Chains A and B, each alone.
Chain A
């Protein structure tokens, strides 16, 4: 089957809050999913990602806006007519039916004959690596297995699109990692346009073609993992994806889109500026932990600090460095090849101008 494009056009969903009045859960969301793409909606609880998803699935009615699957406007279509496979956070397997019956449910509705159903069921079970589980019942299976059955059930009917609502949040860490790869592998193999919802940024980065970062009902930024990591538009995105340090600084001057800022006694030239600033203003400068180098302190050191905490993690060492007026998280990768420092050691902090950002707040 040819993968299709999904398009959301200015979706709005509001509800009445007891004290605050009418609140927007989804505040005019527009996006599109390319055919065969896995797009992730990422954000903290309450950002509107699940509500958006449920509107696409047909379980919530948007106050305004349109939803297109392919060329069809499905905004007002009933959930059962959308041909959108949905995998729920809690699996939602039918407890009174066996694995076979769960998976065959959608096929029966489409009047597929028994022989064909048998074939499709074992085929999909094979795909999710649950061969032979036909006769099992949900309560006899582990969380991970149930999740795979849920997935199998959704894809066996060859839906136009796939919607996955935080499918992994109920699994333990290791299982999450292995299952997410499975899901991605499957999605690629089937070439099905998929929207994935999660609050776990690592998960989003691991499997998505593109990520949509949401907060309080709005889309903050859309991009690939690299886009979002290296070029976040706002402080929210920068902090949400990966770790980042916030360093207070003073703008000394602003020339041609470049700002000269002072941090402590050092001066830096920042050209990655995404907001309006003026000279004399105090702004936060953001720097990733791996973009900071530490050196042995010397007489010419401009920016210094003291290591207050040192954590050895095998592939890297994380330091917490206390400096005048701010703390830094510094990560030093493949430590065996570098100089390492001890707690309470005084160090010089070396910031890379090119990797400093001043972003929208």
Chain B
């Protein structure tokens, strides 16, 4: 459907707000939410950083910045982020290319899709734990298999490895959509003009994928920057990273201010990524997946050798991933990994008795967050893309702030901000739920906006011309079409609530705890079996809920409505 531009460009005026009471109320409510739960905490943190005893004082800030360790952490974080961005994108590209371009049989495609999902729905330490099991000094692979003694598993390389495996699925999903959207006839044309396969790839496919590659790099860079859990286990003290150092500064040295400063430094690269994404990648072509059910031309751009090489790389990675999860499962079922290999269900018994509270708490928080986050995502997505009103652009950006920031900053901010009147929320479930909503609700906003952009305004106009009131149109036309976006948002908030830790670790309390925090505790207390059992449980729960949502979606999916490329589509 060609895009017809709106003929009249009403500026975002105050007038529009006043005319439409429903809009006015929504805007006010959203702003209250944003001010209280996005700006207020951040400003409190900022105040702590720049004041000393009530007076404006940047010395603490300067002091922290001049410490060698701080600069090293910052450098490491950016270095690691860039490396993860590159490696993850490369790996993701391998997978995406293989999946889309090599005429893979459905069987292989399915297998890859399922396996790829695993790192995305696991709690954060899973890779780290299995890396230690496999590559530690007494590790399965290094010691038992390869006989290497004293292999130092801690440091940059293992962290890079674990993060790459954890995050490359994001790259896969992004790139798959882009590659699938590249018209094969463009390549056909290049062939007919005499280009070799390599030339076609190099001069046609690659340039067309540039925006996808850039986007993927940025996403992975941001993910690595914010990753707190993996480095906590694997980085060791010789490779300090900002989110982990911020955490240790607060919890180890009770230096709230120092921790806040360290996490604030993360703000710079995070904001850079945010703006780069908006303006650089924002211009990418929105590939609409519906419509042209054209003939599936066979892709000719891959020679046999290349095809098998790609397939091999993917297969190896897939096997690796499966191995890690099997290892996890194994560790959860034996008494003591490495020492006592007798089969036991004790760990599972333990998590369902001692861990029952954590499981209940987490589920309640995740589901509540899901409902609230889903609603938030749809409402904000709808009003920012469909309605024009004063402060619209600003609202759009504000809603994405917490989403773009590393969890550590948000967690610290919430801890500081809501620890005293007038808003006292520490120790409640609400603080965790609100943190999750303000952070992950943005996914819902993005998918709603993406869907709405694909729904031409004339569809709603057509409805009105047939006599439907705006409310009727919203109910019968807009909502059914937006449903996939809504569910996608719901799903993401749920998954993140179940698997996130970097913000939540500051917010758990006596009354409300989370499975991920329990996993960390058990890891530090070396109850590895229990950690593994909890991890397996999380993977299973998330898997069930995700499948439930996609099935629900299929059931209610209005035939012919825009298909979302995946639940995780960024």
Chain A residues proximal to chain B, CB less than 8 Å: 13, 15-16, 25, 50-51, 54, 57-61, 78-86, 88-90, 92-98, 105-106, 109-110, 137-140, 150, 153-154, 157, 170
Contact = CB atoms under 8 A, between A and B. Distances in A.
A189 B466 CA distance: 21
Interface in B518-570: 558-562
B138 interface: no
Contacts of A109: 466-468, 472
A235 B316 CA distance: 73
B1 to A, nearest CB: 5
Interface string B444-480: 0000000000001011011111111110100011001
Interface stretch (B2-10, B231-239, B274-282): B2-10
A137 B560 contact: yes
Contacts of A50: 7
Contacts of A81: 467
Given A94-B459, A97-B558, A137-B559, A15 B7 contact: yes
Given A25-B7, A96-B481, A79 B458 contact: no
B465 A86 contact: yes
Contacts of B467: 80-81, 83, 106, 109-110, 157
B478 to A, nearest CB: 11
Nearest to B472: A109
Interface residues of B, number: 33
Contacts of A139: 290-291, 293, 560
B560 A138 contact: yes
Indicate the member of A85, A109, A154 with the most B CB atoms within 10 Å: A109
Given A15-B7, A138-B560, A139-B291, A92 B466 contact: no
Given A25-B7, A90-B2, A96-B559, A80 B465 contact: yes
Given A50-B7, A90-B2, A105 B466 contact: yes
Given A51-B7, A90-B456, A139-B293, 4 more contacts: A16-B9, A54-B7, A58-B464, A139-B290
Indicate the member of A94, A140, A170 with the most B CB atoms within 10 Å: A94
Contacts of B11: 16
A89 B7 CA distance: 15
A51 B472 CA distance: 25
A80 to B, nearest CB: 4
A96 B480 contact: yes
Contact of B465 (A93, A137, A154): A154
Contact of B561 (A88, A90, A95): A95
Nearest to A170: B2
Contacts of A94: 459, 462-463, 477
A349 to B, nearest CB: 44
A60 B558 CA distance: 30
B8 A60 contact: yes
Contacts of A80: 464-470
A12 to B, nearest CB: 12
A57 B7 contact: no
A137 B8 CA distance: 32
Contacts, number: 105
Shortest Cβ-Cβ A-B pairs, 6 listed: A96-B558, A106-B466, A86-B465, A92-B462, A92-B458, A79-B464
Contacts of A110: 467
Interface string B259-300: 000000000000000000000000000000011010000000
A105 B293 CA distance: 27
A84 B465 contact: yes
B8 A13 contact: yes
Contacts of B463: 94, 105
A85 B461 CA distance: 11
B462 to A, nearest CB: 4
Interface of B: 1-2, 4, 7-9, 11, 290-291, 293, 456, 458-459, 461-470, 472, 476-477, 480-481, 558-562
Indicate the member of A15, A80, A138 with the most B CB atoms within 10 Å: A80
Given A16-B9, A51-B7, A85 B465 contact: yes
A138 B561 CA distance: 10
A69 B520 CA distance: 72
A51 to B, nearest CB: 5
B470 to A, nearest CB: 8
A92 B8 contact: no
A95 B559 CA distance: 7
A298 B314 CA distance: 83
Indicate the member of B9, B456, B466, B559 with the most A CB atoms within 10 Å: B466
Contacts of A106: 466-467
Contact of A153 (B290, B464, B466, B562): B466
6 contacts: A95-B558, A95-B561, A96-B558, A139-B290, A139-B291, A139-B293
A13 B2 CA distance: 24
A157 B7 contact: no
Given A25-B7, A50-B7, A92-B456, A86 B560 contact: no
Nearest to A97: B558
A92 B472 contact: no
A80 B464 CA distance: 5
Nearest to B291: A139
A240 B444 CA distance: 50
Nearest to B7: A51
Contact of A96 (B1, B462, B560): B560
B450 to A, nearest CB: 16
A78 B20 CA distance: 13
A204 B293 CA distance: 33
A139 B293 CA distance: 9
A138 B481 CA distance: 14
Contacts of A90: 1-2, 4, 456, 458
Nearest to A163: B465
Given A79-B465, A106-B467, A137-B559, A15 B8 contact: yes
Nearest to A51: B7
Contacts of A88: 458, 461-462
B441 to A, nearest CB: 25
A154 B464 CA distance: 11
B461 A79 contact: yes
Contacts of B459: 92-95
A90 B470 CA distance: 21
Nearest to A166: B4
B557 to A, nearest CB: 8
A17 B394 CA distance: 23
A59 B461 contact: yes
A1 B8 CA distance: 34
Nearest to B11: A16
Contacts of A25: 7-8
Nearest to B2: A90
